[in-house]
């Protein structure tokens, strides 16, 4: 059985996120590909680990969730305020997307359950 990815400790996470500063955020907001690549490469391992832990061993769900989180972060970067620690801001973005993914999964499960109970047996 493959081992679970390690979740970065707060100290390692802060060190990893320290490379993302206001200048880099501004360059991503202006559409500079190298800046985007740097942010993506920095965030991907953390987001992937969290997604796997959140959805379990279903890799396709973890991939979907990772992509949704990273898209949300990139869309929201222009609203990031450098006065706020980036680690706190990114944590809020990730938490919001995890909750949205969980709510959507519950709606899908409830909908599937309703369909299953409303169909006559064959």
Alpha carbon dihedral 56, 62, 38, 75, in 10-degree steps, equals: -120
Q: What is the pTM of this model?
A: 0.70
pLDDT string in tens for the chain (122-residue length): 444 444 445 556 667 777 788 888 889 888 899 999 998 998 998 898 888 888 877 888 889 999 999 999 888 888 888 888 888 888 888 888 888 888 888 898 888 887 778 766 66
Q: Name all domains of the chain by residue range, CATH numbers in brackets.
A: 10-118 (1.10.1740.10)
Q: Which residue has the tokens 């190298």?
A: 34
What's the confidence (pLDDT) of residue 115?
79
Residue 94 Ramachandran class (φ > 0 left, ψ -120 to 50 alpha, else beta) = alpha
Closest CA to 72 of 91, 52, 45: 91
What's the confidence (pLDDT) of residue 32?
93
């Amino acid at each position: 059985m493959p081992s679970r990815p390690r979740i970065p400790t707060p100290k390692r996470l802060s060190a990893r996120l320290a490379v993302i500063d206001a200048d880099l955020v501004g360059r991503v907001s202006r559409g500079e590909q190298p800046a985007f690549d740097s942010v993506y490469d920095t965030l991907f391992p953390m987001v992937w680990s969290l997604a796997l832990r959140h959805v379990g061993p279903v890799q396709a769900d973890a991939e979907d969730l990772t992509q949704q989180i990273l898209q949300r972060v990139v869309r929201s970067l222009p609203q990031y305020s450098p006065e706020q620690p980036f680690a706190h801001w990114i944590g809020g973005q990730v938490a919001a997307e995890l909750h949205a993914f969980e709510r959507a999964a519950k709606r899908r499960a409830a909908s599937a359950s309703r369909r299953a109970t409303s169909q006559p047996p064959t």
